[in-house]
Structure 1
Amino acid sequence: MKFLFEQVDLDKVINNTLELVNVQDTAGDTVEVASLYEKLLKQAGFIVEKYEFIPDNPTLIGRYQEKTNPEGKTLLFNGHMDVITLDHTPPYVEDGKIYGRGTCDMKGSLASILEVVRVLELSKSVVNGEIIVIANSMHESPGGRGEDLIALTKNLELQADAAVVMEGATYDCTVAQLGSATFNVTIERDGQPSHQLYTPDRTPHPITVLADVVEALDQENDNLRKLKIEDIGYGSYFIGQVQSGAFYNQMPNQSFLEGVRRYGPSESYNDVEG
């Protein structure tokens, strides 16, 4: 195993990561980054199938079949090619780290998957089974919610004995993770938006009510921090988006927030929803 690790070409991993990060495709149109990753998979020795169940959002299946035993077990690597919809600066390397939107989440991992097979090729190792890579396009919300992976499971019979999703950066490995449920709250009052001075006194203010909701969720986070989840941390309510109003002296008629509820393996989705 130590011998295999010594074969890793870190410069190639870095360069592949930078190539991928330079293409900032988001869910909804990942044609360019999918074309690049398909090329890199083929260069690494994969046979690649490309599907486009959702227009402009390719899903790639790479199969490494050189020096493999089809009677053995199948290991599947999965990663997404899209990034979140935020502005970014070009990627760069500084003090031994790569910076750039999508580096950790998760193009560095996509590049590392390629190196796994390159090392196997260099070492002349024989794999007792098959290695499959699935690279999907519609992961990052709000543009994607895994629609292309769902379509893949409905249209193809694809099985594996184990799957590895290398999203995130850590030296620890825990066979568990936090569940993720997106929630949104809309607060509305009767009537249309109105000028501040012409709004009847004591009209409920959607932003004030929204502030009460945020405070209530913060208090619930304090309760969740008392319930440690082994090897994972804590459940939480995270608010990532708050919106209300269109003008500084206009009374809005609604406010909105959206966030993520993280929860542990002992809780079901139904528990969290309740």
Structure 2
Amino acid sequence: MTDNELELLFDCLRIDSTWGRERELAEFIAGRLRLWGVDDVEIVESMPGRPSVGGRLRGTGAGRSLILNGHLDIYETSPDWTRDPFNPEVVDGKIYGAGIADMKAGTAAALAVIRRLALGERPRGDVIFQGVSCHFEGGVGTRSLLEAGFTADAAICGEPTDNTIGTVHRGAAYLKITTIGKQAHTSAKWLGLNAIETMEPVLAGMRELESTMPYTPHPELPGGPNLNIGTINGGTKHNQVPDRCVMTCDIRLLPSQDPYEVRLQVEQMISELKRADPRIEAIVEFSDHWLSGPRLPYEISQESDIARVAAGAVAAAGSEPVFKGIQFWTDMVPLQQFGIPSVNIGPGTPPYSWADEWVELEKYQETVEIYHQAVLAWCN
């Protein structure tokens, strides 16, 4: 890896691309792609004010095409940072910077390979860079670039998996449950119905459902479904009986589970509660954040062409290929929906987004080499 490839990562880390503010980084990357002579470069508005950037480096002909996909948006920085999150530095073999694990190191590694190829010898097949916004909305940026024509025969995503090869990951159901009561004043509370109180058995029912809903175990994804109750909001004032209570939750699912079926299971659970307590009236919906990009599970065979090439690329870069399931959701789902088989390889380890976030310098260097070897093997 060259000093220029490390500086490219530093340039990306210096730009604050916190969720919703991706434009500056997208424009920076587009400028670099054009400077290197990438043939087709386009900024696409994935959502209003939130652009993604696509670049196609045309091959010499008769080769397969490959996408390198990375998202630009990062989570909000924690106030617990002890360093300047947007002033990257290398200390004791670790590169520190906001969003470096999730996932600017993977995105910059893909850019570094595009630079190598554009300024050096091009492969036979096209290589496509996708720098996507709106990843946290469920792959909106990836879909918008695919719709704009930045497609290929296969893809590699760079989410943080410590450079293990991901061919399977969990899905998710983001649910919003609203209990409906009747407003009244505390002095006459018997004339109302407290929606917070009718939410209480629903919360207990959700916790029980986490351990009882059916699923088929997966050898690469240990454990069953995971439930997190994320928010609860209800009521307007301390002296008013609340007529609404809203709970949102995230249920992480196995590939054997269907988010739509899980929603029906929740509705059935609430119906059973209602038989015991007819006061319970609840509406179960997918959250708007889920509907913008349904978080379906993903799985592809480890014997698929792209998985075999990925394993060979890891070996060519000097490491032992390891296949490992991914506990979170990736943009391999929208890619699959466009008929593009994908795997995931990227630097970074759990918890993926935290104060003083870091990635090992050697892992970033290794990722650049893996991506380069994958391009050479697949596109030639």
Compared with structure 1, are the counterparts of its residues 150 and 118 closer, same or farther at alpha carbon in structure 2 (3 Å cutoff)? closer
User: Does the 8 A contact of 1:45 with 1:117 survive in 2?
Assistant: no
User: Does the 8 A contact of 2:15 with 2:25 survive in 1?
Assistant: yes
**More moved, 39-48 vs 227-236:** 39-48
**More moved, 83-92 vs 157-166:** 83-92
- SS, match of residue 222 in structure 1: helix
* TM-score, normalization by structure 2: 0.57
Q: Which residue of 1 aligns with 2:156?
A: 164
Taking the aligned partners of 1:62 and 1:78, their CA distance within structure 2 comes to 11
Compared with structure 1, are the counterparts of its residues 235 and 69 closer, same or farther at alpha carbon in structure 2 (3 Å cutoff)? farther
* TM-score, normalization by structure 1: 0.75
Q: Which residue of 2 aligns with 1:80?
A: 71
User: Does the 8 A contact of 1:13 with 1:108 survive in 2?
Assistant: no
Q: Which residue of 2 aligns with 1:240?
A: 230
Residue type matched to 1:19 in 2?
D
The alpha-carbon deviation at position 110 of structure 1 amounts to: 1.0
Residue type matched to 2:234 in 1?
S
Q: Which residue of 1 aligns with 2:114?
A: 117
Tell me if 1:205 matches 2:201: no
The alpha-carbon deviation at position 108 of structure 1 amounts to: 1.7
More strand by share: 1
Tell me if 1:136 matches 2:165: no
Q: Which residue of 2 aligns with 1:174?
A: 166
Taking the aligned partners of 2:208 and 2:49, their CA distance within structure 1 comes to 43
Taking the aligned partners of 2:194 and 2:180, their CA distance within structure 1 comes to 9
Q: Which residue of 2 aligns with 1:256?
A: 246
Q: Which runs of 4+ in 1 moved over 6 A?
A: none
Work out which structure has the larger RCO, using CA pairs closer than 8 Å and 6 or more positions apart in sequence: 2
User: Does the 8 A contact of 2:171 with 2:252 survive in 1?
Assistant: yes
User: Does the 8 A contact of 1:186 with 1:255 survive in 2?
Assistant: yes
170, 173, 176: which one pairs with 1:184? 176
Residue type matched to 1:134 in 2?
Q
Taking the aligned partners of 1:70 and 1:273, their CA distance within structure 2 comes to 48
The alpha-carbon deviation at position 189 of structure 1 amounts to: 0.8
Gaps of 5+ in 1: 1-7
The alpha-carbon deviation at position 158 of structure 1 amounts to: 4.2
Residue type matched to 1:255 in 2?
C
Q: Which residue of 2 aligns with 1:71?
A: 62
The alpha-carbon deviation at position 85 of structure 1 amounts to: 5.0
Q: Which residue of 1 aligns with 2:29?
A: 37
- SS, match of residue 52 in structure 1: strand
Taking the aligned partners of 2:155 and 2:37, their CA distance within structure 1 comes to 20
Taking the aligned partners of 1:207 and 1:256, their CA distance within structure 2 comes to 9
Taking the aligned partners of 1:212 and 1:15, their CA distance within structure 2 comes to 54
User: Does the 8 A contact of 1:105 with 1:168 survive in 2?
Assistant: yes
- SS, match of residue 60 in structure 2: strand
Taking the aligned partners of 1:215 and 1:107, their CA distance within structure 2 comes to 39
User: Does the 8 A contact of 1:238 with 1:261 survive in 2?
Assistant: yes
- SS, match of residue 73 in structure 1: coil
More helix by share: 2
Residue type matched to 1:33 in 2?
L
Compared with structure 1, are the counterparts of its residues 215 and 103 closer, same or farther at alpha carbon in structure 2 (3 Å cutoff)? farther
Compared with structure 1, are the counterparts of its residues 270 and 126 closer, same or farther at alpha carbon in structure 2 (3 Å cutoff)? same
Q: Which residue of 2 aligns with 1:19?
A: 11
The alpha-carbon deviation at position 119 of structure 1 amounts to: 4.7
**More moved, 54-63 vs 34-43:** 34-43
46, 62, 72: which one pairs with 2:38? 46
Residue type matched to 2:242 in 1?
P
- SS, match of residue 27 in structure 2: helix
* Cα offsets for 1:120-142 (capped at 9, x unmatched): 568x55523121011222222xx
The alpha-carbon deviation at position 35 of structure 1 amounts to: 1.2
197, 206, 221: which one pairs with 1:217? 206
- SS, match of residue 63 in structure 1: strand
Taking the aligned partners of 1:186 and 1:121, their CA distance within structure 2 comes to 53
- SS, match of residue 217 in structure 1: helix
**More moved, 74-83 vs 248-257:** 248-257
The alpha-carbon deviation at position 191 of structure 1 amounts to: 1.9
Taking the aligned partners of 1:205 and 1:169, their CA distance within structure 2 comes to 45
- SS, match of residue 241 in structure 1: strand
User: Does the 8 A contact of 1:17 with 1:108 survive in 2?
Assistant: yes
